[in-house]
Chains A and B, each alone.
Chain A
Amino acid sequence: MTMTQPEQSPGRAAHESRSRRSAEAHVHARIHASLLAGIDSQDARSAVAAFDAGNAQRPLFGVAVAPWPGLTDHHAAVASPTSDDRVPWRFAVLDTAALIKRDLLRLVREPGLLVFTFVQPVLFVLLFRYVFGGTLGRVIGMDYVNYLLPGIFVQAVALGAVSTAIGLAEDLGGGIIDRFRSLPMVRMSVLAARTFADLIRNVGIIVVMLIVGMLIGFRPHTVVGVAQAAVLVLVFAYALSWLMALVGLRSTSAEEAQSIAFPLLLPLTFASSAFVPVATMPGWLQFFAANQPVTIVVNACRGLMLGPEAAHALQASGSFTTDTTGYVLRSLIWTVGILVVAVPLAVRKFNET
């Protein structure tokens, strides 16, 4: 039995499901009351069972939305308004905070992870600056360290997103997610906390990279530009974390997560404008490199950090195909696009049991 019969007109179906919803809410309210009163509510419960037999579906976000007059049918089916699922938002916040603390503690307690997170990007900066910088600076026509730093920011947080995948795969494999699932907590907070913890870690990475960059000669145009670029990188990295959460949830082990995530992220970070101008690549690669999100975000950061003059120079040399504002807008579109796809998929995968 499905909610919408094929022969029904959409309007009629919507109407029916609305009236059904209010009836449903009524039944649930009755049950809730009888449960609270400690009365045997067998009859009421079987009524609900019969009522919901067709559209029993677990709520997508763990926190259900109360039946809302303007809610679409799709939302109603996703968040079935049982009294059971209505959880104060306070709990969502508290649970997420508790888990963020846990994830950050885990990061601090694992030296290997800490090295991977902070030392690797610093090594990249130093190696590119001093090994390739001499040659590349001449090709690009500007101080290479200034060209490099915005690229390294994005590369560092993009590769760092792998740890979202690894962390979730580890939790799943270790069984602690099963424990979490058996607790009266807000389930969504596991994914929310994981991605927020990685956001916090990324703030740390950006600060470290800025300090190292300044030490080796990076000279941004304005502080405001750096701050804007940092925010842009952070929101992009947050979107990537959700994508990597999906990878982690689909993996059976941390190793598998890693081996799926790196082949995805390495081409994105290297076949981009992060280290060299896209124009130096072969034609077939240029099309991918010029349009893929890492290049877009790197160029946006470059424009914001190095200032309008440098942006004009990059546009004149063909490195930029549009102005800074254009890259910033396209970065935001990519970020929102990735979130719109990855968040629902990751949440659904997480709730799938």
Chain B
Amino acid sequence: MRSSGTSTPAVTIRGVTKSFGEVRALDGIDLEVAAGTVFGLLGPNGAGKTTTVRILTTTVRPDGGRAEVLGVDVARFPRRVRSLIGLAGQYAAVDERLTGRENLILIGQLTHQPRRRLRARADELLESFKLTRAADRPISGFSGGMRRRLDLAASLVHHPQVLFLDEPTTGLDPRSRNDLWAMIRKLVDDGTTVLLTTQYLEEAEQLADAIAVIDHGRVIAEGTASSLKASLGATIIEVTFATPGEARGALSALDRIIPGAGVDDLVVGGPVVGGAARSLDVVRALDAARLAPTGLTVREPSLDDVFLALTGRTATHTGDPDSDVERTAAMAGAAR
């Protein structure tokens, strides 16, 4: 699958399937990641993001289909693939009882780096990930952010050409997240190809050149962050009322401004084309209908909204039964 003499894609996946017992984790997934870019794999828990990463990092074998990293088949030449890639994120880990430096040296040994360079490489990485001061403390005393930074550093010891980051910032506070984003950007500037999985559209938007949304082990949308958002209408407007009755009453008043708006208990809303300025029309329409809202929210679409539009289900609150089903149905209607 090579296109007109350009360089080999960093990652090519064609019709890959994988089941764990009864659960079909990947159901014929197709992806292509161009070398030197950041690719975001976006989806809720259980969508197949991690399974995709595990197949590409040779820790899980695909049942069917074909997956290649830099043109090397992961099932046939796993060891070659392993020398080309780095893995960090929720399922990779560092040794709690070793120090930061010991961890990096261990990984250097296991990736068969020149002995003389082990220490220097560890120092180099500790420095660039701002861990020099904590270098000789056991990881068990590290903060979450420091741990992720060391994890990322550990994945880079052997200068991988393709880096897989599985939910690199999940569970981090906003500051640590920003730090980590800055570090990932620097890596990309140095020419590393990055495939990252995330549940956050914002993260994909911040980092990724291209995004694929996956659900039930299939790619359901591909594009850039802005093209995905644009496919929804650029802005979400939500109006909150004191009673469900008022909210339902407002639905018809807002119908023309928010085409196909949905109602969920006290909230009426949906995506609008035309940006935040459309909120003025909403206010005018409510005023004309003599309806007094208790709240008005104008916001960017979230992964939830994109997800709703694509699947008719919410992405991140799948485990939350109360009113989610109703909201889902309502918002799905709104999105179309």
Instruction: Using CB atoms and an 8 Å cutoff, list the residues of chain A in contact with chain B.
Output: 35, 40, 42, 45, 48-49, 52, 56, 58, 82, 84-85, 87, 91, 94-95, 98-99, 102, 105-106, 109-110, 174-176, 178-185, 353
Q: A52-B76, A98-B109 are in contact. Are A182 and B82 (CB under 8 A)?
A: yes
Least CB distance, A38 to chain B, in whole angstroms: 10
Is residue B138 within 8 Å, beta carbon to beta carbon, of the partner chain?
A: yes
Closest beta carbon of chain A to B110's beta carbon, Å: 4
Complex CA gap A214/B102 in Å reads: 39
Q: Which residue of A lies closest to B1 (CB)?
A: A42
Report whether B76 and A182 are in contact in the complex, using a CB–CB cutoff of 8 Å. Answer: no
Known: A106-B97, A176-B93. A84 touches B78 (CB 8 A): yes
A183 and B82 within 8 A (CB) = yes
B230 at the interface (CB under 8 A from A): no
A175 in contact with B76 (CB, 8 Å): no
B160 to chain A, nearest CB (A): 10
Additional pairs, 17, CB under 8 Å, beyond known A174-B95, A181-B57, A184-B79: A35-B72, A40-B71, A49-B76, A82-B77, A91-B112, A98-B106, A110-B97, A175-B91, A175-B92, A176-B93, A176-B95, A178-B54, A178-B59, A178-B87, A180-B110, A182-B87, A185-B110
Query: Is A184 a contact partner of B112 (Cβ separation < 8 A)?
Result: yes
Q: Which residues of B contact A56 (CB under 8 A)?
A: 75-76
- Report B-chain residues with C-beta under 8 Å of the C-beta of A42: 2
Write the nearest CB–CB distance from A87 to chain B, whole angstroms. Answer: 7
Q: How far is the CA of A84 from the CA of B58 in the complex (A)?
A: 13
Q: A180 to chain B: which residues have CB within 8 Å?
A: 110
Residues of A within 8 A of B58 (CB): 181-182
Q: Which of B123-168 contact A (CB under 8 A)?
A: 138, 154-155, 158
Q: Interface 1/0s, chain B 98-114, versus A by CB < 8 A?
A: 10001000110111100
Interface residues on B, range: 35 or more
Taking a contact as CB atoms under 8 Å apart, the answer to whether B110 and A95 are in contact is yes
| B172 proximal to A (CB < 8 A) | no
Q: Chain A contacts of B331 at CB under 8 A? A: none
Contact of A84 among B54, B61, B80, B91 (CB under 8 A): B80
Q: Is the CB of B92 within 8 A of A182?
A: yes
Selected from A82, A87, A174, A182, the residue in CB contact (under 8 A) with B57 is A182
- CA–CA, A56 and B82, complex, Å: 19
Q: Which residue of A lies closest to B57 (CB)?
A: A182
Q: Are the C-beta atoms of B112 and A102 separated by less than 8 Å?
A: no
CB <8 Å contact, A49 and B95: no
User: B residues within 8 Å of A by Cβ?
Assistant: 2, 54, 57-61, 71-73, 75-80, 82-83, 85-87, 90-98, 102, 106-107, 109-112, 138, 154-155, 158
Q: Which chain A positions have C-beta within 8 A of B155?
A: 179
CA distance A185 to B78 in the complex (A): 11
Q: Known: A40-B2, A49-B73, A105-B102. Contact between A175 and B93, CB under 8 A?
A: yes
Collect the chain A residues with CB atoms within 8 Å of residue B85's CB. Answer: 182
Complex-state Cα separation, A106 to B59, whole angstroms: 25
**Is A179 a contact of B87 with CB atoms below 8 Å?**
yes
Residue from A109, A182, A353 with most neighbouring chain B CB atoms (10 Å)? A182
Task: Find out whether the CB atom of A102 lies under 8 angstroms from the CB atom of B82.
Answer: no
Given A182-B85, A184-B79, A353-B60, is A106 in contact with B109 using a C-beta cutoff of 8 Å?
no
Q: Which of B2, B76, B95, B110 contacts A183 (CB 8 A)?
A: B110
Nearest residue (CB) in B for A94 is B109
Which of A99, A110, A179 sits near B154, CB closer than 8 Å? A179
Complex CA gap A45/B75 in Å reads 12
* Residue contact B112 to A179, C-beta cutoff 8 Å: no
24 contacts between A and B (CB under 8 A): A35-B72, A45-B76, A48-B76, A49-B76, A56-B76, A84-B76, A84-B78, A84-B79, A98-B110, A105-B97, A175-B91, A176-B92, A178-B87, A179-B87, A179-B154, A181-B58, A181-B59, A182-B82, A182-B92, A183-B82, A183-B111, A184-B79, A353-B60, A353-B61
* CB-based contact B97/A109 at 8 Å: yes
Looking at the assembled complex, report how far the CB atom of A85 sits from the nearest CB atom of chain B, in whole angstroms: 6
Q: Using A40-B71, A84-B76, A84-B78 as known contacts, say yes or no to A178 and B93 having CB atoms under 8 A apart.
A: yes
Identify which of B61, B75, B98 contacts A105 (C-beta below 8 A).
Answer: B98
Distance between A103 CB and nearest chain B CB, rounded to angstroms = 10
The chain A residue sitting closest to B93, CB to CB, is A175
Query: Which B residues are in CB contact (< 8 Å) with A185?
Result: 82, 110-112
Instruction: For B154, list chain A residues within 8 Å (CB).
Output: 179
Give bound CA distance, A180 to B103, whole Å: 12
With a cutoff of 8 Å between Cβ atoms, the chain A residues found around residue B75 in the complex are 56
- Report Cα–Cα, A106/B112, bound state, in Å: 22
Question: Is A179 a contact partner of B93 (Cβ separation < 8 A)?
Answer: yes
B143 vs chain A, min Cβ distance (A): 17
Q: What are the residues of chain A within 8 A of B109 when measuring CB–CB? A: 94-95, 98
**How long is the Cα–Cα vector from A45 to B111 in the complex, in angstroms?**
26
- CB-CB under 8 A from B57, the residues of chain A are 181-182
